[in-house]
Amino acid sequence: MAADPHRITYLAKTFSAAALEFHRGHMAEKGYRMEGRIAPTVFEIIDEDGKTKPAFDGEPLFAVTFVKRED
């Protein structure tokens, strides 16, 4: 795929699922490295009026971000 995104963030219900995505998704072979750490995160959505509301019913999810390496 020529137009691979520069950054990809995956959300998972467990730490293990998020951690395994690096290997399962062959991210290194696709030219990605993990950015930061895997951490439980609560997400909020901001509407066009600036009001926020919980995303995913306020459930914390483990977020892992992969960034395309610059060669």
Residue 2 lies in a domain: no
Total domain count for the chain? 1
For residue range 45-67, list pLDDT tens digits in order: 999 999 999 999 999 999 999 99
In three-state form (DSSP H/G/I as H, E/B as E, the rest C), the secondary structure along the chain is CCCCCCEEEEEECCHHHHHHHHHHCCCCCCCEEEEEEEEEECCEEECCCCCEEECHHHCCEEEEEEEECCC
Which pLDDT belongs to residue 1?
A: 42
Q: What is the pTM of this model?
A: 0.78
State the residue range of the domain holding 61: 7-68
pLDDT of 59 reads: 96
In a domain, 44, yes or no: yes
